[in-house]
Amino acid sequence: MTFEQTLQTLLSINPLHLVKAAFILGLLLYSVFSYVMLRQEQLMSQVVYLSANTKIRALILAHLLATLFVLLLAVVIL
């Protein structure tokens, strides 16, 4: 591939596609963070017993499900 062909390929990329890919990648990383939060809560509840453990677990699980829903929605829409 010559330099001109490479340059033409780079110039033909739509910047909006790069923004979409970056947005989906960011949501994917946030989903991983949400899963890590769930895992940390599971480990914490094994060590420390609180009366609010079930409420915290429900809140974190709802957060994870909402995050996955938004990620799926972004993939479908974008």
pLDDT digit string (tens) for the chain, length 78 residues: 788 888 888 888 888 999 999 999 999 999 999 999 999 999 999 998 888 899 999 999 999 999 999 999 999 998
Q: Cα 8 from chain centroid? A: 32
pTM summary value: 0.81
Per the structure block, which two tokens stand in for 18? Answer: 């790069």
CB 14 within 8 A of CB 54: no
